[in-house]
Structure 1
Amino acid sequence: MSRKPNRNGSGANPGRRPPAPAKSYPVQQEEELLAFLVATVKGEGRNSLKSMLARGQVSVDGERQTAYNYVLRPGQTVAVSKERIEETPRLVGLSILHEDDSLLVVQKEAGLLSIATEHEKELTAYRQLTDHVKRSNPAGRVFIVHRLDRDTSGVMMFAKSETVQQQLQNGWQEAVKERSYIALVEGEVKRPEGTVSSWLKESKTLKMYSSPYPGDGQHAMTHYKRLQSNKLFSLLEVRLETGRKNQIRVHMQDIGHPIVGDKKYRSKSKEIGRLGLHAFVLAFEHPVTKEVMRFESPMPKAFLAPFRNGAQSSAHN
């Protein structure tokens, strides 16, 4: 939900007139951009319109266009401004599923960090979303609620205030109604469904593992259901009862079926060129409205590749 701009003039330069709004023109038929402008924009000659294109004063459906021969389609809108049009920066590896005054729910692609590390400071979900909220509210901030590993894709949530962040984190078990993943794992999982329960600890090398001793670490419980399998791979729906660091990755290794591409947890397969883990569904009670909200991110098509037409695998190459 975008906020309305401040209209009281505070902070504005009283000696400067605001720029004239861009004029919009609907496209009725397919034709090249320059020809459309010549026929549609009154009071401007062909050379003047060429200069306006070159200066970035023309946009199509909100995106600046400079090519004379850009092909317009019926239903598009061309805007012509007296000044250079500033485009909203695009989010990289990220799309917004829902935004309101309290929350942002996003879909993250594999390869994007949730939050900065000592090696990656700029291109993170957190950094991009911070910039996004500041564009409509300079005092705006975002707060991490939970994380997805860099190579895990799917749905995740950010708070817009520390109060909402704490409320969600402190009542996570009660707030979250469903949190499920799709996992592509090595080998044929024989059981149609099962549960893995263990106590997770972190080694000195920052690798999580299941302790052999009950009560030694953080309790973690993972439920899985087999969706599809062959001799080399299985596709599972995985539901978390607890949300520990690397929980699914450790538990899949524990049952002898590491997640495809997960070298850290003994996977030998590079079948799909990425980690075979995707945050499929996140459903939760909104901390302010108390409405139950459910968001689903489609399974990556690559996860089905090992099952098409009896495809041979490179699992042990």
Structure 2
Amino acid sequence: MESFGVSWPPRNEGIIYRDVLPSTFSTSSVLDFYCTKYNCSAPREGWQQRIQNGQITVDGEVVKAFDTTLRAGNCLTYHRLPWTEPPAPWRLQILYEDDHLLAVNKPSGLQVLPGGLYQQRTVLTQLMWRCQAAAANVSTLDYPCISQPSPVHRLGRGTSGVLLCAKTKAAKSKLSLDLAMGASSEPFSFAEKRIMKIYRALVSGIIDTDETFIKEPIGTIKYPGVLKGLYAATPRGKPSQSKVVVLQRDLRNNRSLVQVEIFSGRPHQIRIHLAYLGHPLISDPLYVSGGKPEMSSLALLEESQQSEVNHDDGGYLKPANPVPGDCGYHLHAHKLMLIHPITEKPLNIVAPCPPTLCMPGEEFAVEC
């Protein structure tokens, strides 16, 4: 199976954040502005450190005084210093490719889009580097790079398997519509939905029923370390539906291998629904039975989540409590069936499962 990728450099290049103050902006100091707008990035002392480091400019001029006055129309930049991102795999296997689509087998541990500590070590970066190499004729790849492929959906950092990318604007636009249709909570036939996703998962406990439909709504709840709230099972959430089929029961190890088809596309839906069923994914660091995190310790976590600071940059360190991007669970996007957005022909894209998620005699994925 053909693969591509470039190993990660030791440090990224940092990030530049830009702000242009609107006409309605009320006069304040540069320190108060950053402490207010980006209060979850660093404590007040951290922003003071960043100003002293010369990491902030106003209209192109480095500022060192905390009380520098800001007014409407000012252009501010904050340069987040380069850092060594946490370890992540970098090689991607090609499952399917034509002039409009690219499907890759994403390894567990690799983030799809930039976020948090992972700004460079992402699928998006590898796609960009591959396209740049082809354009510069320094690659051995034997295909023309139409444009930089763009992922049209996401997989959790700890989830492996089929990731679909669009190489043209026409394909991306059509796939976006098809995926929006797939966000419905009701089961449709393949012809109606145009895109169907089949997953494999390894869960704790023995599921007695061969086939189960889970319809628990999914929404956000307050959770320390997740600014916009954590997705979880909640009656106040959006309608969600998953179909779970038991493939194998391991009585000796008290676990079940299951196939999951999702009829709605809520964040972390499979992890939440299986946990709600009382069978969370093996080694899931976040979701427990009931489809929520362990709630008894949340008060303590909230008190401690912003206590530790990175003294090089002044920003908060990663929360000590589990967050959605933490890995360890066993979940794989095994099959993606779709109607090609341009040719209208059916496609069935399969990513071989890792050994822990294979049936006896089934071919499994080999790390490259």
Range of TM-score over shorter length: 0.5 to 0.7
2:199 corresponds to 1:201: no
Q: 2:209 aligns with which of 169, 182, 191?
A: 191
Q: Which residue identity lines up with residue 260 of structure 2 in the other structure? A: V
> Where does residue 256 of structure 1 map in the other structure?
278
Match of 2:333 among 266, 273, 279: 279
- 1:290 maps to 344
* Structure 1: gaps spanning 5 or more residues: 1-90, 308-317
Whole-Å Cα distance in 1 between the matches of residues 177 and 286 of structure 2?
30
Partner of 1:238: 260
Q: Which ranges of structure 2 fall in alignment gaps of 5 or more residues? A: 1-88, 137-145, 183-191, 224-228, 294-326, 361-368
Q: Which residue of 1 aligns with 2:158?
A: 151
What is the Cα deviation at residue 160 of structure 1?
1.6
SS in 2 for 1:201: strand
Give, as a single letter, the amino acid of the residue that structure 1 aligns with 2:284. Answer: D
Alignment of 1:224 with 2:278, yes or no, is no
Question: Per the alignment, do residues 190 and 226 of structure 1 end up closer, same or farther by CA in structure 2, a change over 3 Å counting?
Answer: same
8 Å CA contact retained: 2:339, 2:345? yes
Does residue 1:302 correspond to 2:320, yes or no? no
Amino acid at match of 2:271: R
Equivalent positions of 1:50-129 (< 5 A) are 92-129=90-127
Deviation at residue 204 of structure 1 after TM alignment: 3.0
Q: CA offsets per residue over residues 165-196 of structure 1, 9 Å max, x none? A: 23211222355443100110000111111100
2:168 matched residue in structure 1: 161
* Matched residue SS, 2:357: helix
Note if contact 2:242-2:261 (Cα within 8 Å) is conserved in structure 1. Answer: yes
CA distance, structure 1, for counterparts of residue 343 and residue 166 of structure 2: 14
SS at match of 1:127: helix
CA displacement at 1:302 relative to structure 2: 2.4
Distance 2:91 2:107 in 1: 5
Paired residues of 1:176 and 1:282 also in contact (CA < 8 A): no
Deviation at 1:275, TM superposition (A): 1.4
Structure with the larger RCO, 1 or 2 (CA within 8 Å, 6+ apart): 2
On the 8 A contact 2:151/2:163 being kept in 1, the answer is: no
Indicate the structure (1 or 2) with the bigger Cα radius of gyration. Answer: 1
Matched position secondary structure for 1:117 = coil
* Equivalences for residues 26-45 of structure 1 within 5 A: none
RMSD over aligned CA atoms reads: 2.4
Counterpart contact for 2:285–2:329, Cα < 8 Å: no
Counting matched residue pairs gives: 209
Distance across 2 between alignment mates of 1:167 and 1:202: 29
Q: What is the TM-score of this pair, normalised by structure 2?
A: 0.53
Q: Say which is worse superposed, 98-107 or 133-142, in terms of deviation.
A: 133-142
Say if 1:175 and 1:285, in contact at 8 Å, map to a contact too. Answer: no
* SS in structure 2 of the partner of residue 261 of structure 1: coil
- Percentage of pairs with the same residue: 30
Structure 1 consecutive aligned stretches of length 4 or more whose deviation exceeds 6 Å: none
Distance 1:229 1:181 in 2: 17
Cα distance in 2 for partners of 1:141, 1:166 equals 15
Q: Secondary structure at the match of 1:248?
A: helix
The Cα shift of 1:304 comes to: 5.6
Residues 33-53 of structure 1: CA distance to partner in whole angstroms, max 9, x if unpaired?
xxxxxxxxxxxxxxxxxxxxx
> Hey, what's the Cα distance between the residues in 1 that align with 2:151 and 2:169?
9
Q: Which amino acid aligns with 2:264?
A: T
CA shift in 2, pair 1:284/1:114, >3 Å: same
User: Which AA in structure 1 matches 2:216?
Assistant: S
CA distance in 2: counterparts of 1:176 and 1:125, whole angstroms: 25
| Distance in structure 2 (CA, Å) of the matches to 1:298 and 1:140 | 27
Normalized against structure 1, the TM-score is what? 0.61
The Cα shift of 1:218 comes to 2.1
User: Shift of the alpha carbon at 1:123?
Assistant: 1.7
Aligned equivalents of 1:144, 1:175: Cα separation in 2:
19
Partner SS state of residue 240, structure 2: strand
- Cα distance in 1 for residues equivalent to 2:128 and 2:165: 10
User: Which residue number corresponds to residue 42 of structure 1?
Assistant: none
